[in-house]
Structure 1
Amino acid sequence: MTEVSFAKSFLAALDGRPIKLSPDHVEDPKTYQARGAYTLPKMPKTMSKRKGTSVTPGQERSLVVTVKSLRNPPLDLRLSSQTLNTSVHDIKASVAKETGIAENKIKVLHKKKPVPDSKVLKDLVSEDDTAVEFSVMVMGGAASAAATTGGKQDAQHDVAQGLSGADVLQTEDFWADLKGFLLQRIRDEQLAAELASTFQEAWKTKS
């Protein structure tokens, strides 16, 4: 108990002493010297203004969108004055309107990778870009494009005319469409090509 008593008496003695602060913490305002305004030194080199990013109030930067087809049917479409908030779905709708191809048959790719319909242009371009290029893949190829030309279709006319059954598997268009489907699902061009080749070799072996 001696240690406890000593600690209590020591703390009580500290509380009884007046609080003193060093000159670093307190200063008499009457003796405080007035200080003049401090001017920052001039920079050795004037900062350059950013170019190409200034936009007039009420006017948004626009892009030129080029859409090309990976294979049949041939397609080279140019869409000008597209805002940064234009979605991939809007691009797909514009392609469908210009070509007559059904919108649900169109797959949009950017840099060989499928792009979700919810993406907008500003998600895909940098601040300095003035144009962007997309490639489209038409599911069913030229046959699908020919079937959709002319507007609305009957469900009975959705089946492509021409070869059917095992004869279709002898065409290169079928395997190209299979590769495109796998690419859209897997999003890996090399793996999609390997799988398509595996399916084709397995069919040839079976037949």
Structure 2
Amino acid sequence: MTEVSFARSFLAALDSRPVKLSPDHVEDPKTYPPRGAYILPKMAKTMSKRKATAVAPGQERSFTVVVKSLRNPPLDIKLTSQTPNTSVLEIKTAVSKDSGIPVDKMKLLHKKKPIADSKVLKDLASEGDTSVEFSVMVMGGAAAIKNTPANVEVAQGESGGEVLQTKEFWDDLRGFLLQRVRDEKTAGELADTFQAAWKTRA
């Protein structure tokens, strides 16, 4: 027992003394216990790569709109350079001009869901998307397409420069500009500018 007591007191005395290391002390790495490589756990969901966009800062991106229909009548129409504020109604109007399908007989679907005419492209596109695809449903099928008559009656009356002298022409132009810019003051200023430029030219 005396040996055990001596060993305990000796170890206690060693523990009470501070450890002194020389300033140039270097630990030998070979004395470290071996450790296995640490492998990071796999993520539950992989991170998607961010799509690079070619849009300059402060510039609005444009969309390519694709309208398809596998049913009768088959359609595959592509509209390029569409702004983010282009509405579904404007897309339907453009498709109607190309296909002859009346706007009121056309229903656009995005991801198999009907889309209201008031929706715009930026509400439907995801971040980084440059194209939006629609499928079209035509009420009445091919029978709804307007067929252009072979013999079109030519409108009679004034034409050419004579039309530009009439008040009706400039009123029509003012109404068209109002539909496009949606601002009565701006539309009036544009119409007056066009009319003044034409009179100066004449």
TM-score normalised per structure 2: 0.46
Larger radius of gyration: 2
TM-score normalised per structure 1: 0.45
